[in-house]
Amino acid sequence: MTDLWSVDEHLDDVLGAVRPLAPIELPLLDADGCVLVEDVPVTAPLPPFDNSSMDGYAVRVADVETATEEYPAVLRVIGDIAAGSGRLPAVGPGEAARIMTGAPMPPGAQAVVPVEWTDGGTGAGPADAMTGRDHGPEVRVHRPAAAGAHIRPRGSDAAPGTVALAAGTVLGAPQIGLLAAIGRATVPVRPRPRVVVLSTGSELTAPGRPLAPGRIHDSNGFMLTAAARDAGAVAYRASAVADEPETLRATLDDQLGRADLIVTSGGVSVGAYDVVKEALDGRAEFRRLAMQPGKPQGFGLIGPARTPLFALPGNPVSAYVSFELFVRPALRAMAGHTADALHRPRTTARLDGDGPVTSPAGRRQYLRGSHDAVRGTVRPVGGAGSHLVAALARADALIEIPETVTEVAPGAELTVVLLR
Ligand SMILES: Nc1nc2c(c(=O)[nH]1)N[C@H]1C(S)=C(S)[C@@H](COP(=O)(O)OP(=O)(O)OC[C@H]3O[C@@H](n4cnc5c(N)ncnc54)[C@H](O)[C@@H]3O)O[C@H]1N2
Ligand code: MOO
């Protein structure tokens, strides 16, 4: 019996072998979820001009200094300034300009009084909205306004010469909004890795097709493609390949050109038809890990571009757990995420359940679990069998049982990998 590799050794080897993808300039929406590779400077002030934060009237402070509802300041309305206005009337003493939220401040004005602090030009009591386009000739202002009141100064959000977003930032909706606001149409980022997922096994039939005797549906292909997308990749599922090394070799060579990373499942154990092992003999290394599920693993850098290839075990739970522990961090490293952001979050939780759980000596076990964040507990879902896809679908966590532990009693603290 050959020595087993530890989970950590395998992960170190995998992460030591993959490299971040070369950066490319992408349009903003294509860069969503990607990691920025350069600082993005602010080149023009944001907002670009002083503008109003309220619908109301642009006024001179001295004109409204003593204004009350009983003794309003009566100002001559000289015009209307909508957001986007290019021509601005100058506001002189005793004058006001109607102004809308986001509209540029006109010369001469020092503050904005919201329409609710005026009669809105109606001559009646306090207004609750601006009237239509036909404004009255004058407005009664009921309250004073300090200089700068309800004005958003030019450059107050982002000033030229500062950094809008630093290299290493992961772009999400607010960051993309900022980039658009400062006028950037494209940004240099690491692209999403392109992943091809390939199932192997002569027993596999695509979902939607009836099953002939002895056959099963290809669930790994769909599950792993979804997992790769969840990890931030652009992933495609190739049609399942039968247990013929030549066909698999040809399919892999064909897919290499369109993939930054390849994931296969099945055919890595000790069976007579372990096709991946046979097809990749000498091109990938096959190991047995001190882990359950996920004992047999293959990994290599193949083809002219030395494309990372993960040959995962065929049992569905083994394939999924292996993906989460090894492929997901590799994909995130390729996408430029930092070491602290490669893995699923982990926490500790107390084991909940009717009795103890057992684990084989010398193997790190990952049981499927249901995590209760409020109570700080985790409960096993289904058994340890690596074919149990229904239980996997009900789980939201992996319960990690260390290599040295063979039995865990309810109430014991364990590490939990959070899957959602
Ligand atoms: N004599 C031994 N037998 C096995 C060992 C061992 O050490 N000695 N290891 C077991 C472990 S652990 C695992 S894990 C599996 C790994 O086997 P393979 O990677 O070679 O996978 P297959 O034999 O092709 O399939 C295993 C199992 O999974 C089902 N499968 C495969 N692909 C898919 C798919 N795309 N969708 C759904 N289900 C799939 C397949 O039908 C088998 O039931 O080997 C153990 N055996
Ligand atoms: O290690 Mo296998 O991956 O348990 O089922």
Q: What is the CATH number of the domain that holds 104?
A: 2.170.190.11
Q: How confident is the model at residue 358 (pLDDT cuts 50, 70, 90)?
A: very high
Cis peptide before 27 (omega within 30 of 0): no
Ligand 1: residue whose CA is nearest its atom 3: 270
Task: Specify whether the CB–CB gap between 150 and 114 falls below 8 A.
Answer: yes
Q: Which residue has the tokens 């092992």?
A: 277
- Give me the number of domains the chain comprises: 4
In this prediction, residue 395 has a pLDDT band, given cuts at 50, 70 and 90, of: very high
For ligand 2, atom 4, which residue shows the shortest CA distance? 293
- C-alpha span between 406 and 242 (Å, rounded): 38
Structure tokens belonging to residue 161: 């010469």
In SS3 terms, 144-185 reads as: CCCCCCCEECCCCCECCCCEEECCCCECCHHHHHHHHHCCCC
**Same domain? 205 vs 312:** yes
For the chain, what percent of residues have pLDDT higher than 70? 100
Question: Does one domain contain both 290 and 361?
Answer: no
The answer on 201 and 322 residing in a single domain is: yes
Asked whether residue 1 is domain-assigned, the answer is no
Find where tokens 């002030």 sit: 45
Whether 89 has a pLDDT exceeding 80, the answer reads yes
Residue 232 falls inside a structural domain: yes
**Does the pLDDT at position 1 exceed 80?**
no
Distance 366 CA to ligand 2 centre (A): 10
Asked if residue 55 and residue 37 are part of one domain, the reply reads no
Q: Which domain holds residue 168?
A: 26-47+155-190
Percent of the chain whose pLDDT exceeds 90 = 93
CA quadruple 8, 14, 19, 20: dihedral sign: negative
Sign of CA dihedral 410, 413, 414, 416: positive
Q: Which residues pair with 174 in a beta bridge?
A: none
**What is the CA(314)–ligand 1 centre distance, in A?**
4
Where residue 293 falls among pLDDT bands split at 50, 70, 90?
very high
Beta sheet of 24-27, edge-to-edge order: 24-27, 186-190, 35-36
Q: Is residue 218 part of a domain?
A: yes
Contact 386 CB / ligand 1 (< 6 Å): yes
Q: List pocket residues of ligand 2, CB cut-off 6 Å.
A: 292-295, 313, 315, 318, 386
Q: Which among 127, 152, 177 is the end of a domain?
A: 152
Ligand 1 centroid to Cα of residue 352, in Å, is: 30
Give 2's pLDDT tier (boundaries 50, 70, 90): low
What's 39's domain CATH number? Answer: 3.90.105.10
pLDDT of residue 271: 80
Give the mean pLDDT of 27-41: 98
